[in-house]
Amino acid sequence: MKLDPNTLRADFPILDREIHGHPLAYLDNAASSQKPVAVIEAIDRFYRAHYANIHRGVHTLSEEATVAYEAARDKVAAFINAPDRRGVIFTRNATEAINLVAYAWGRTNVGPGDRVVVTEMEHHSNIVPWQMLTQEVGADLVTFATTDEGRLDLDDLDRALDGPVKLLAFSHVSNVLGTVNPAREITARAHAAGAQVLIDAAQSVPHLPVDVQALDCDFLAFSGHKMCGPSGVGALYGRPEILEAMPPFMGGGGMIRRVTCEESAWASLPAKFEAGTPAIAEAVGLGAAVDYLSDVGMAAIWAHERELAAYALERLAELDAENSCMRVLGPPAGERCGLVSFTVAGIHPHDLAQVLDWEGVAIRAGHHCAQPLHQRCGLTASARASFYLYNTRDEIDRLIVGIRKAQDMF
């Protein structure tokens, strides 16, 4: 069923704001999404009526909080079709989830001469932890290429996998190019080479149906704040048999079964990787966000965003036809998510973003935490408009009007 963004907009109070006298057009969803009333109210209700620390209390509030927290885990597990709820670990965000794997799995399984493979299009969160790991243990970090059209070079993947590869880490969807990578095929190639696979799904789980069983990945990381949930909570999915074999990421309360002054024994999954008091209310909010997105329908959200991306590419092409001013990064509409990064000749992306803000249009400008990819493209920065379920064609038209105003100014 096709969604109606104008109806959904009423669920997001912040979209009623005016910025510099203009209605807000929020086109920065790849950085973070806005929150519906259902999520705001779920967090408020939890704090007002049910808040307490979880798992260890026998009083009513603690039991209620524990039920709410673990119910959120069940919702997240179902949302990504995890075969076992024990494989869903709550983290602060996708970055922490990736670091958890780099520390707890990587420092146990990667050694001198081994390879970890990443791609040129990765977010820094899926590069820096692997740099730190490989430099520490004497392993090699190998990068495989991106084509000029913004696709992963799968021929170059064969080269990267030709060696003692322990892990391939790659993004399901590029946060700069919008490219939707053939994750199942890439995963299958990596497994055939004897490597395990981590997928950075920060830009896919919020926007399209994601099924970890169909992807056949070993790890998958994503953030709550990009999918209508609160900041401060995300998740790592891992195969339980792999997680069981990993040492803990952090030590402390909640992740132990037994402690003496000499040694400790770890709790069962998922508690083993959730040391200390977790982000309880935030997890409840994430569960509410999952409910909201599920009610709208991920297939409908995905179709809507792809339509918006196609329309944005058409409008930017019109600008380029007028004076050959535009450079759009990434593949054509059929191969990308609802995200368009571009440059405008003679205007720095930060200046463009400032002019657009004066018009009430919020976009992102910079390297988007993907400096290696920008270097590959011969750029230091780009402008990025990214869409979600509540965005409209009207807002893209306002983006184009704002770009024209910036051109007139510069």
Residues with active-site annotation: 369
Between strands 364-366 and 115-119, the pairing is unpaired
Helix (H, G, I), strand (E, B) or coil at 346: coil
Cis ω on the peptide bond leading into residue 372 (within 30° of 0)? no
Terminal Cα distance for the chain, rounded = 44
Give just the sign of the alpha carbon dihedral 11, 75, 216, 168: positive
- Across 120-191, where does the E strand assignment appear? 140-144, 165-171
In the sheet that 140-144 helps form, which strands lie side by side, from edge to edge? 88-91, 234-238, 219-223, 196-200, 165-171, 115-119, 140-144
Report how far apart, in Å, the C-alpha atoms of 84 and of each of 76, 78, 207, 235, 254 are: 11, 9, 23, 14, 20
- Across 260-311, where does the E strand assignment appear? 264-266
Are the C-beta atoms of 381 and 330 separated by less than 8 Å?
Answer: no
Contacts of 296 (CB under 8 A, 6+ apart): 3, 8, 389
Are the C-beta atoms of 355 and 402 separated by less than 8 Å?
Answer: yes
Contacts of 34 (CB under 8 A, 6+ apart): 12, 14, 15, 26, 228, 388, 390
DSSP 8-state secondary structure symbol assigned to residue 289: H
Between strands 165-171 and 196-200, the pairing is parallel
Are the C-beta atoms of 138 and 111 separated by less than 8 Å?
Answer: yes
Contacts of 334 (CB under 8 A, 6+ apart): 306
